[in-house]
Chains A and B, each alone.
Chain A
């Protein structure tokens, strides 16, 4: 589904990603783990094109090179991006936010509709005409995912979906991600919450200083306390 090789990315002169390599298989939920500043968000932003990968980087999506394409072209190929800061359009209502994300590629047989999404996130159904700026953090997190799903992506990038949310909302997020996987969407998410990651993901990859240090199943990670101690504990 997604093959990343020799991915380098910079913020100004700071070298954030160093020859990062990663592959995501169709239908799986892969979680990127790592401490703050390890390069998780930058990896996701490089895939969607918001951070421009350095020359020589390779990002192949469904066997097509997408490194260096404009974000809207990458999104149109079927990659949905949900930013960490949510970036809800606060002046727009819930329905209008969904409208901005709406895109129906002809090959999608059962596109996401507001009704399907409201079934997934019942809270949103009760506030269709509320401006995004007057929603709680959890509601905004649901809306930002729903908005991206309106574009019917086949690969969903989720940047720290559980961050800053109340436990009951985190639980809803986990269920939503399971439902998204059920719908056949491949998911690549970044996470700091190991417990949440273990709950939703099939496989984990650990990033440190812009390099993938470890990959394996979550069971394998659970059985390797030294890996957790080295790369994840604060």
Chain B
């Protein structure tokens, strides 16, 4: 199954790669004064919408900064990574070796980001990760030149362990796809929930991206746990909440998840998602001036509502703007630059956050409830949550 799909994707990749290659020579070679920014994001495939939102968020911040970073004009080099791990090394190398970018920004898919992390470690190129949550990028593989403006997979799921225990649930069943983000999320939830004193009755997995949930739903009904914790996103999230509601379980065994379960999918989920509680580092209706201003500017320029991905892209640009301003746009003294990036206080639409020692956001995780087509923030599930960053040994 995997091989066939990969084959299909590779052929698709081949077609679009040649298109990118044909365009590349038309980019003017930059003057040395321009800051060379490499964007490696998915612009086609399942995560196309996320890559676009990140780019647009980045652009909003850049405009607010007068189109400059650290006083230098910006020149973009763009590669569509198609969320394809097999091509990730080549794509990142193209930006680093051929286009000689000063900073590499990407990406959404955790498998692809790990290839970028390796190249950043090998070449010393500055890398800013605006989404992918693979724990390792700021744990065992952390490095002075690698920064993340999104989350670790551990972060959004962890507070849910506390929330569910406090809501009186003691016996919980978990269900997710058997792949990186799913396993890391469930592991994180389990750690918090059992620490409080709760018990996991059964951990269930299905292969990614299988959506035949009916056997599991039958199993959940017969196990009768107090509640269910799941990690699903996109099409799988829609199908799961619908199947769960159709089986009549929604009002009998409460369903919880990390925020991706209900982000960007509410219209399709309809009634099946109403009232669901999830945890994430962003949500609708966060009451701060920055969020209002950002959402207004984003809506005005792109005609769509900003989402969590747009915020992460926006913050990636804020991070660079802040850090580069402190060193006057110079990459000469790497140590000074990384030190400056570490110290930037990001005034983000999600609320103010700072960089951890492992270069991952220390941020509030919100508890949200689905109301209509919005994930309304109803409280802070965990104030200033820092990833434990196990195994991160930063070599300066």
Do A and B actually bind?
no
